[in-house]
Amino acid sequence: MAAADSSLPIAMFDSGVGGLTVLHECLVSLPSEDFLYLGDSANFPYGTKSRDELRGLVARNTRFLLDRGAKLLIVACNSATAAGADVAREIAAEHGVEVVTVVGPEAEIAAAISAGGRVGVLATPATVSGGAYHRALADQGRALEVTEVAAPDLAPIIQSGFPFDEGVVSTVRGYCEPLREAGVDTLILGCTHYPLIAPMLQRMLGRDVRLVTAGHAIAATAQRLLESAGLESRNDGEGDYRFLCTGDAAAFRELGTRFLQMPLGDVEEVAP
């Protein structure tokens, strides 16, 4: 990361507004840092796209953000991470920038806190088929029984489901059933949309099942990388955060406010 500059922002991208759950935690944990967020809402959802499609989107988003200037790149999308983390890292290396993805930090936390070694993963089909969580959990140095559930329609339902109705509750309950049957004691929420239904998942799975979300894990990893490279912000006060999206800016702003739980302000619309 020697080529980067501490005054540059941390760049982050997602398929739409879901990654704002990650940004929210980063804004809380790294308040003096500047952030630049790209929501690729014109290409939402990522979770049902092919591996080749996703790798192309990852390459485009990475180049776009790093050309604008960034000291660290966060891939705040599980499907993009599963299919193209290596693509992002290869491009970022050309800019002297490191990449943080959502899968590894979550796997590390899940393996550390699971009492009985029974870990569940609730994710999109692209994430499950890519095997990223299986590989990441296998690298944690302990025997784990992993149960993965692919949820093809859950992210779109959450994105369009405010307020949540009984149909959403029924769908979530169906996805929880195999996790309950497997007796998981820890569940990785393998999509950045899923924290918005965390209370629902906790109720259905039981209070003893520990939920692992990406936000806290990503923020901690980002802070560690910046400190080790001497790239922490020199700002005395709060940093700035800016938004780009490839879809309708007004729609992104309205929905994004619910995910970020903070004002979005202006959103710049860019070409998909």
Q: Are 77 and 132 in contact (CB under 8 A)?
A: no
What is the C-alpha to C-alpha distance for residues 186 and 4, in angstroms, rounded to an integer?
A: 37
Q: Are 152 and 48 in contact (CB under 8 A)?
A: yes
Residue with tokens 């936000």: 215
Position 87 pLDDT exceeds 50: yes
Instruction: Exactly one of 26, 77, 176, 245 is catalytic; name it.
Output: 77
Res 2: pLDDT? 44
Q: pLDDT tens digits, residue range 223-247?
A: 999 999 999 999 888 999 999 999 9
Average pLDDT over residues 104-124: 95
Q: pLDDT tens digits, residue range 123-180?
A: 999 889 889 899 999 999 999 999 999 999 898 888 776 667 788 889 999 999 999 9
pTM of the shown model: 0.88
Confirm whether 77 is a catalytic residue. Answer: yes
What structural domains does the chain harbor?
Answer: 10-101+215-269 (3.40.50.1860), 104-214 (3.40.50.1860)
Q: pLDDT tens digits, residue range 182-192?
A: 999 999 999 98
Query: Residue 234 contacts by C-beta under 8 Å, 6 or more apart in sequence?
Result: 6, 7
Confirm whether 245 is a catalytic residue. Answer: no
Q: pLDDT band for position 259 (50/70/90)?
A: confident
- Burial code (b: 16+ CB inside 10 Å, e: under 16) for 42-65 equals ebbbbbebeeeebbbbbebbbebb
